[in-house]
Amino acid sequence: MEFGILVNEGPYTHQASDTAYLFARTAIEKGHKVPRVFFYHDGVNNSTRLATPPQDDRNVNSRWSKLAEEHAVDLVVCVAAAQRRGINDDVLAPGFRISGLGQLVEMGIQHDRLVTFGD
């Protein structure tokens, strides 16, 4: 089965990002595909490499980057939501790219399931 994932919440303000990451990783481990994750609303804050969490805390954007690298997951950041939050190509963590809502629509059409995390 192919899962498209939509993340609507930031990495350290809500559990949605952590839950989405764990869902994606587990789905891949179970043999499913996760071709794309779309970050929307405050979820775009998962994409910035400027976050430097303490050493004893999880590094959310690094986990997403590693997942993308190891499993060819396309990490798409909504351009409008990113611009509203001051995020541009210069501050993206590895594996993330900025694109439009068409990527979200395409994901909903092409994948078997679209799973949303966050409000």
Tens place of pLDDT for every residue, the chain, 119 residues? 999 999 999 998 889 999 999 999 999 999 999 999 999 999 999 999 998 888 878 889 899 999 999 999 999 999 999 999 999 999 999 999 999 999 999 999 999 999 999 98
C-alpha to C-alpha distance for 73 and 64, rounded to whole angstroms? 9
Catalytic positions, written as ranges: 78
**pLDDT value at residue 10:** 94
Q: How far is CA 30 from CA 2, 25, 48, 108, 117, in A?
A: 12, 9, 29, 21, 20
**pLDDT value at residue 103:** 96
Tokens of 11: 């990495």
Whether residue 23 lies inside any domain: the answer is yes
Whether residue 104 lies inside any domain: the answer is no
- For residue 24, the SS3 value is helix
Whether residue 16 lies inside any domain: the answer is yes
Whether residue 71 lies inside any domain: the answer is yes
Query: How many domains does the chain contain in total?
Result: 1
Whether residue 107 lies inside any domain: the answer is no
**pLDDT value at residue 13:** 86
**pLDDT value at residue 4:** 98
C-alpha to C-alpha distance for 6 and 23, rounded to whole angstroms? 11
Give the CATH number of the domain where residue 61 resides. Answer: 3.40.1260.10
- For residue 98, the SS3 value is strand
Structural domain that includes position 50: 2-99+113-117
Whether residue 105 lies inside any domain: the answer is no
**pLDDT value at residue 55:** 83
pTM confidence score: 0.95
Beta carbons within 10 angstroms of residue 111's beta carbon: 18
Whether residue 108 lies inside any domain: the answer is no
CA-nearest of 31, 29, 107 to 75 is 107
**pLDDT value at residue 112:** 98
Whether residue 48 lies inside any domain: the answer is yes
**pLDDT value at residue 56:** 79
Per-residue pLDDT reduced to its tens digit, 2-18: 999 999 999 988 899 99
Contact by Cβ (8 Å): 7, 114: no
